[in-house]
Amino acid sequence: MNSQNVTDYPNNNTYFLVWNFRQNAAPDTVKSVFQRICALVANLNNSALDRFPDSKASCVLGIGYEAWLQLELPTPLPKEFKRFEEIRGSKHTAVSTRGDLHFHIRADVKSLAYDMASTISGFIKEVADCVIEVQGFRYWDSRSILGFVDGTENPHGKDRDYFAIIGDSDPQYQGGSYLFVQKYIHNLDAWKALPVEEQEKVIGRSKEQDIEMSDDVKPSNSHIALANVGDDFKVVRDNMPFGSVSSNEMGTYFICYASTFSTVEKMLTNMFIGSPPGNYDRILDFSTARTGTLFFVPSADMLDAFSS
C-alpha cells in the first residue's frame, strides 16, 4: 500500500487546518464534498510534484473518529482508532477536542502552502467550518519558541516508516497511520524568567548544543525523561512553532504520526499523570494544551478509493 506523505521531514512553512462538518449539512452533500476533497488532495500532491519538484510540498489528510462514522467509511475500524479521551492529571489535562478533517500542508515556499490551503477551503466551506488554522514556521535550527531543538528523538531512515506507518498487523489498513495533534500555548513570560540552567532541567537537554543530560543528572520530571518511552516505542513528530508577537500568544503545534496509537497514549500518560503518578512533565507548567484530537490517515490507495 502506498502511504500519504506522513514521513516527510518538517518544512519551512506549514498550514495545519481542522474542519468540522456542520450538523445541518445534508448527508449526501457532505459525502459528495468529502469525495471531492480526497481527489483534490491527490491532485494537489501530484501537481506540486510536477510543477515544483524541489519544493518538498505535500498535503496529508486525516479523518476524525466521528467523521469516519458519519461518512460510513470501512468497518471494522483501524484497530486503535477511537475518540480520544482526555487524560486528566493532578494539575494538568490533555484535553479532548472534536476534529472531523485534518489537513497538514508543507512547502518550502509559503505561497505554495497558502495556495493549497486556500484551494482546500474553497472546496470544503460549503459543508464545514474551519475550527483550527495554524500557520507554522521553522524557527532557526528546528527549535521551538522555548529556544530548544524540537524533535531530536525522531527516527530516521527506514525507522520512520516502521514507527509511523501501519504494517501487516492490521492488513485492511496497511499503509495508514494514526495522527495525533495538540495545540499548545506557552507562557513565555514565566519561561523567560527561568535561568537557562533551570530551563535545561525542565527539558532535560542543553539549550545551545542540544545534548541530553546523563541519567544521573536529568530530573525525573523533565520532558525528555517522561516523553520518551523507549527505543521500541517511537513516533514521527512534525511539530512547528506559531503565534502572534503583538498578542504574545506563541505556541507549538504538536503533531505526530504513529503505527500504534497506544505509544502516543503512553507518552501522554507519562506527561500529564506522571511516572510515578504526580511526577508530571514540568514543561506543562509553561505549556497548556488547548486541543487534542486523534485522526486516522488512510493510505494513498485508500484515499483514492474514497474519491470515487
150 is catalytic: yes
Retrieve residue 12's grid coordinates.
Answer: 519551512
pLDDT, residue 98, reads: 98
Q: How far apart are CA 166 and CA 6, in angstroms?
A: 11
Q: With b meaning 16 or more CB within 10 Å and e meaning fewer, what string describes 139-165?
A: beebbbbbbbbbbeebbeeeebbebbb
What are the grid coordinates assigned to 52, written together? 515544483
Rounded distance between C-alpha atoms, residue 56 and residue 51, angstroms: 11
> Which residues neighbour 111 within 8 Å (Cβ) at sequence distance 6 or greater?
none
pLDDT, average across residues 52-69 = 96
pLDDT, position 248: 80
Catalytic residue among 150, 170, 238, 281: 150
Sorted by where each begins, the domain ranges of the chain are 13-306
Residue 100 DSSP symbol = S
Reduced to 3 states (helix: H, G, I; strand: E, B; else coil), residue 295 is strand
Segment 148-153 long-range contacts (CB within 8 Å, at least 24 positions apart): 148/199, 148/203, 148/205, 148/207, 148/210, 149/205, 149/210, 150/237, 150/239, 150/252, 151/10, 151/237, 151/238, 151/239, 152/205, 152/210, 152/212, 153/224, 153/228, 153/234
Task: Give pLDDT tens digits for 143-162.
Answer: 999 999 999 999 999 999 99
Instruction: Give the mean pLDDT of 291-300.
Output: 98
Percent of the chain with pLDDT over 70: 100
Separation CA 62–CA 120 (nearest Å): 14
Q: Report the predicted TM-score, pTM, of the whole model to 2 decimal places.
A: 0.97
Mean pLDDT of the chain: 96
